[in-house]
Amino acid sequence: MRMRNPKDKDEVIQNCPFLITDTIDFPNNNPLHIEIGMGKGNFILNMALNNPQINFIGIEKYSSVGSIAIKKIMPYNLPNLKIIIGDIKDKEELLKNKFDVIYLNFSDPWPKKRHAKRRLTSPSFLELYDHLFKSKKEIIQKTDNDALFAYSLETLQNHGYQICELSYDLHSTNIPNILTEYEEKFSKEGIKIKYLRAKK
């Protein structure tokens, strides 16, 4: 998601007490989950609020969007939620062998074939994620995009994942769900949300 830079973006990011720059430091050894592409932070904030026994990290490539998430999260002062501003591809060493679950919510579908390697479920990204997991690997994806969903099902299974849960209309199921900003928008437009949970 691209948007105009908020005027106070740099100040908000620099003064963020839960921003990770060079080390990951939670006050316990609870399971650690990450959302790659957290957007404005609605999903990761509510996941942290509803699951205090789990630590969460949200990473956002675009600082303009990340600063909005920081403002949203700031009043809650949560000990189990931290964020990173930057590209996941540049954070492998920082994040290596840390995570139990990865969330991919409404990622850019990159519809053109020549851009397939940029999709967050492309083989190169799945290889990157292999290095981020502690041991067992679990990926949860939500999308409105049929083509990306079909692509993800193929690449995940080709990479050794087993699809444990699958829905082409998430909101018609009883699968526990926290809405993202995009999800709210798409649902109001009558677009069905695709969901998968995959383990390796």
Q: Which one from 10, 22, 25, 108 is the annotated catalytic residue?
A: 108
108 is catalytic: yes
What pLDDT does 3 receive? 57
Co-location of 120 and 37 in the same domain: no
Tokens of 117: 């390697």
Please give the residue range of the domain that contains residue 200: 96-200
Q: Which residues make Cβ contacts (< 8 Å) with residue 17, sequence separation at least 6? A: none
18-71 pLDDT, tens digit each: 999 999 999 999 999 999 999 999 999 999 999 999 999 999 999 999 999 999
Length of the chain: 200
- State whether 41 and 103 are in the same domain: no
Could you tell me the CATH number of the domain that includes residue 54?
Answer: 3.40.50.150
Q: CA-CA distance, 183 to 161, in Å (whole number)?
A: 25
Q: What is the mean pLDDT of the chain?
A: 95
118 shares a domain with 100 = yes
Asked whether the predicted pLDDT for residue 132 surpasses 50, the reply is yes
27 in a structural domain: no
Give the count of domains, the chain.
2
Closest CA to 183 of 126, 143, 156, 154: 143
Q: Cβ neighbours of residue 80 under 8 Å, at least 6 residues apart?
A: 26, 30, 48, 51, 52, 54, 55, 56
**Of the residues 90, 108, 125, the one at which a domain ends:** 90
- Which residues make Cβ contacts (< 8 Å) with residue 111, sequence separation at least 6? 145, 147, 148
Asked if residue 196 and residue 110 are part of one domain, the reply reads: yes
pTM for the complete prediction? 0.95
- 137-176 pLDDT, tens digit each: 999 999 999 999 999 999 999 999 999 999 999 999 999 9
Angle at 49 between CA 48 and CA 52, to 5 degrees: 70
High-pLDDT (> 70) share of the chain, %: 98
Residues 80 and 115 grouped into a single domain: no
**1 and 64 co-located in one domain:** yes
- Res. 1 pLDDT band, cuts 50 70 90: very low
